[in-house]
Chains A and B, each alone.
Chain A
């Protein structure tokens, strides 16, 4: 069985639990309910924008990508199946994917074609690692991250918060790709267990 996060993801940023769940709202959005969409936007926009900004950093690009994401949410709400996961999980998964796509697209013109090496990545990595430490708000996740080995934590952070591909992570951390892959998997499994996801 594919089962998903059981924790209540519906809490507003201020901690109150609304009576209408985001899953209900998304269901109404799938019926073309624009009012429900507006409500869903109000409830989730800061999370979506926060994550996009975390990955892209550039404000203008972050706005653009956030708009694309909400348009996609509107268009594909008909495909959302609440039996397979929470609305917030669905939206944040989409958010991360689109933000990563943008990171890759804007990088392709910059570093990728010039086959940039670890030398040029290094300064960026330092700031990423620093930001990652600072920007993890949730105590739960922060505590869980501490259970990872240094290499696992760096690899997971660079991939998720930095939007780097595993080959880039391998260059940046100076470890073979195969090692990065197993560290990403081991790290994520450890996080999953620490956070009690899907058990």
Chain B
């Protein structure tokens, strides 16, 4: 579709009537046009009026119990990453949480809750439409989350959660069938300029194959899908490397996780 044709799709978009690939094309266009975003926002608010015009229907009371029970064991997403200016001030490890913060957080920082990062990642996919309406989301985050979803949907899907120092953690998910793995890191230190985290597949002989680089956001978080194909039994490693990544891993190993 041409750009002009896409521009007229604001109504269809606000009504949820665009299907892929047009929807993504439209969202890409919206990311670069303030004017289009403003129009879409107003039309989405208009759509909300349509939603409010529908007669309310009381759901069965059992649903309330069921929902309240399920949220009690479901962790919440970390809040949106901070602005880049704030981020640059935090080169070292995150400051320790205040007692109140710690209390609020610790509820969701149990090992069990960490497994829920996976569930949260799924919710993130579902939440994109809304996130977009409340602030444009980067395209590749979408792609990452949908690939993580694919991994999680695989029959041989597996995951492991590792706690690191200073409250940092990493969750690895993989499927040997899909030859694909992904990491969800949290609470990692933001690296100084000139260096980056690099991912590796390591085989039984210890040979390491580079699998991409990544940086973390202001919260020290990142979801990342490893590049290249995973062979069954490969370990997944992360090292710190010079910006751009290296061909062989440095000594600065952050974590190595076995998948066998």
Contact = CB atoms under 8 A, between A and B. Distances in A.
A167 B104 CA distance: 47
A163 B174 CA distance: 35
Contact of A66 (B63, B75, B77, B134): B63
Nearest to A31: B104
Interface stretch (B122-130, B142-150, B176-184, B206-214): B122-130
17 contacts: A45-B63, A49-B56, A50-B55, A67-B66, A76-B131, A77-B76, A78-B79, A95-B51, A96-B51, A140-B49, A159-B15, A159-B17, A160-B47, A160-B50, A178-B5, A180-B12, A185-B11
Given A81-B135, A161-B50, A192-B42, A156 B123 contact: no
Interface of A: 1-5, 9, 13, 30-32, 34, 37-38, 41-42, 45-47, 49-51, 53-54, 63, 66-68, 70-72, 74-81, 84-85, 88-90, 92-98, 100-101, 104, 135-138, 140-142, 144, 156, 159-161, 163-167, 169, 178, 180-189, 191-192, 195, 197-198
A194 B256 CA distance: 60
Contacts of B129: 93-94, 97
A1 to B, nearest CB: 8
The binding surface of chain A is classed by DSSP as helix
| Interface size band for B | 35 or more
Interface centre among A30, A37, A156 (most CB of B within 10 A): A156
B49 A50 contact: no
A135 B17 contact: no
B11 A187 contact: yes
